[in-house]
Amino acid sequence: MAVEWVRLKLDLDAFDDARFEPYLRSCRQTGVEFTTMAAVGDTAEHRRALYDLNKTCAADIPERGEFYTYDEYVAQRVETPTFDPRGVVLALDGESWIGMATTSIQPEGHAFSEMTGLLASHRGKGISLAMKLLAIRFARSQDARLLRTIHHPANTAAIGMNRRLGFVDDGPHVSTV
Ligand SMILES: CC(C)(COP(=O)(O)OP(=O)(O)OC[C@H]1O[C@@H](n2cnc3c(N)ncnc32)[C@H](O)[C@@H]1OP(=O)(O)O)[C@@H](O)C(=O)NCCC(=O)NCCS
């Protein structure tokens, strides 16, 4: 059956950082901390932790299908020219990695939101908005002026999260079979 993928974009020049800063503050007040893969170290152990978190969260993406093996993940998602550990935002609850938001800078100059995910136990508290704010700050620090993403049309949570941040349609939906 054909899938009408939802393409979204955010104008980073117009994005109002201060509007979303309260989410970051309130998450920190509840004990959630934020860091990046660059800060904790892009080590084999941390790549495995990132993989585990990504795999768990991706299981809730509609029609995602089978996830990569660890070796496939490293080859296709980590050891790529656009992977940047500074663009891998992590949310931590104590020692536990509970959320991630990864952003790449594309050769064309725009940023691309690769994956945002939160363990189900921590959803509905604005943590994803706080992670995306940090992702947006990373994209802006790299002089990107546009942040793009694409979602399955049934992924109402992810589409809602991005529209909440101000993402708008990025051209017509792309149909695949
Ligand atoms: C998408 C995801 C990261 C949202 O995380 P979350 O922490 O629960 O989201 P938040 O609590 O920060 O909510 C942010 C906004 O998203 C929207 N939203 C969140 N969940 C929603 C849902 N189930 N339906 C509709 N909108 C939703 C709301 O607008 C919300 O803001 P508001 O409550 O102030 O109106 C989370 O559902 C997830 O990990 N899903 C599985 C992985 C995935 O599909 N990732 C996207 C593909 S890259």
Ligand 1 centroid–CA 49 distance in Å is: 22
- CATH of residue 42's domain is 3.40.630.30
Nearest ligand 1 atom to alpha carbon 149: 48
Q: What is the pLDDT of residue 102?
A: 98
Task: Express as a percent the part of the chain with pLDDT over 90.
Answer: 93
Ligand 1 centroid–CA 172 distance in Å is: 23
Strand 146-151 with 111-118, pairing = parallel
- Let me know the angle formed at the C-alpha of 33 by 28 and 39, rounded to the nearest 5 degrees: 140
Q: Which domain holds residue 35?
A: 3-176
Say if residue 1's pLDDT is above 80.
no
Give the chain's domain count: 1
Task: Express as a percent the part of the chain with pLDDT over 70.
Answer: 99
Q: What is the pLDDT of residue 97?
A: 98
Say if residue 6's pLDDT is above 90.
yes
What is the mean predicted confidence (pLDDT) over 158-171?
Answer: 97
Give the number of other CB atoms < 10 A from CB of residue 142: 14
This prediction has a pTM of: 0.96
